[in-house]
Amino acid sequence: MKAEVGCTWKGDMAFEGDINGHKIVIDATPEVGGKDLGPRPKPFMLLALAGCTGMDVISILKKMEQEVSWFNIRVEADQTEEHPKHYSNFNIIYEFKASDDLNRSKVDKAISLSQDRYCGVSELLKKAVPVTHQVSYL
């Protein structure tokens, strides 16, 4: 199955992306010729990773009959200093509400299934750099 997105130049450093009919503007900072009309491209990789694994985890936990009232995913990445600047690692922090009556072993299982079997974004990134994760109950 082939995937495709469109990306149209809108002037200066701004581009309008079209993903499944959803329009997203990406741009650069004024220091490099942009007008800060939208986020930078590289952080979208972090968001793609968070969204991919998050959808997996929620889907799996629902199948395990686990009620989640609050769930957040943060992705941290270190960027190299030299060009081409890129992320040298990713760390996913899965955050759950501690007061929820969640079976923590089922949460761990759902995260493991996402990371080891279902999340295609994570799988792709793991081929290039380390991808780690941790779970936090707030």
pLDDT at 99: 86
Which has the closest alpha carbon to 46: 125, 113, 134, 112? Answer: 125
pLDDT at 100: 83
Question: pTM (2 decimals)?
Answer: 0.94
φ/ψ (deg, to 5) at 8: -105, 130
Residue pair 71/57 in contact by the 8 Å Cβ criterion? yes
Going residue by residue through the chain, which has 138 residues, state the pLDDT in tens, using 9 for 90 and above: 999 999 999 999 999 999 999 999 999 999 999 999 999 999 999 999 999 999 999 999 999 999 999 999 999 999 999 999 999 999 999 999 988 899 999 999 999 999 999 999 999 999 999 999 999 999
Strand partners, 35: none
CB atoms inside a 10 Å sphere around CB 15:
19
